[in-house]
Amino acid sequence: MKATVLIIGAGSDIGAAIAERFAREGHPLLLAARNSSRLLPQKADLEIRYNIPCSLLEMDITETGKLAGIWNQLPEKPGITISVVGYMNDNEKVFRDGVETERTIVTNYLGPAVLLNAVAEEYIKAGQGTIAGISSVAGLRGRQSNFIYGSAKAGFIAYLSGLRNRLYPHGVHVMTVLPGFVYTKMTAHLALPGLLTAQPAAVADAVYKGIQKKKNILYVKWFWKWIMCIIRMIPEGIFKKKKL
């Protein structure tokens, strides 16, 4: 029997592609979303096409006080947990609005961290399990155009790194996913450079293979690693003068 895969943010373009990739391999699915009834057509489609069991789970990642309870009440715990959930709004709007700042930080970092703490405790007890978190290269250096989202993703990158270190002795694998640009609803309003931008199906394929190979940090397009390496080496005195 293949491990059940919990996908948090399963209604997103990337989440839906990951669900389909695992369904194709015969994994049972548990799809989580804040309005899970919207996933009913996706559930029916996956069950019919791939002949796998697929359940839905209602979860708002900003309701941090409820997350551990939702996990603890699951009758059977999924062996693989993938956090895809995220939120990005225009940085200037977020900058001027405390509620938007909080929403950005809670959705991209605090909520996933609170939930994954509960998942990790279970996996420690079981002595096995896999956690993957979708962060962003935006978390590798703060830029004026996206620094609040980026700072939340940076927090999530550091969290996943520490979690990997904490869980390694217990046989639990933790993978950080840095997709680079991806064509999705989140980025539909942006003019993305074609060469640097992945399709959700490519992200899903990389996540599936990364989990099989027990990768620690996954760049979906390999050159993002080197792009970010160069960007991170630019001295702060020069970086602060750039319009990035």
Task: Name the minimum Å distance from CB 102 to ligand NAP.
Answer: 12
Between vectors from CA 112 to CA 63 and to CA 196, what angle results, nearest 5°?
130
Residue 52 or 203 with smaller CB distance to ligand NAP: 203
Contact 61, 119 (CB under 8 A): no
Per CB under 6 A, does 210 bind ligand NAP?
no
Residue 44 or 196 with smaller CB distance to ligand NAP: 196
Of 8, 110, 132, the residue nearest 65 (C-alpha): 110
Candidates 50-58, 73-81, 114-122, 182-190; binding stretch for ligand NAP (CB under 6 A): 182-190
Candidates 8-16, 47-55, 205-213, 231-239; binding stretch for ligand NAP (CB under 6 A): 8-16
Please report, for residues 52, 91, 102, 240, the alpha-carbon distance to residue 55 in angstroms, rounded to integers and kept in the order given.
Answer: 10, 35, 30, 48
Contact 183, 201 (CB under 8 A): no
**Three-state SS for 130?**
strand
The interface with ligand NAP within residues 78-117 (CB under 6 A) comprises 84-88, 107
Contact 174, 218 (CB under 8 A): no
Q: Residue 28: how many CB atoms within 10 A of its CB?
A: 18
Residue 129 or 180 with smaller CB distance to ligand NAP: 180
Using DSSP bridges, classify how beta strands 129-134 and 80-83 pair: parallel, antiparallel or unpaired.
parallel
Token representation of residue 79? 């062996």
Per CB under 6 A, does 9 bind ligand NAP?
yes
Candidates 92-100, 115-123, 158-166, 181-189; binding stretch for ligand NAP (CB under 6 A): 181-189
The interface with ligand NAP within residues 12-71 (CB under 6 A) comprises 12-15, 33-35, 60-62
Task: Name the minimum Å distance from CB 170 to ligand NAP.
Answer: 26
- Can you give the binding site for ligand NAP, defined by CB under 6 A? 9, 11-15, 33-35, 60-62, 84-88, 107, 134, 136, 179, 181-182, 184-187
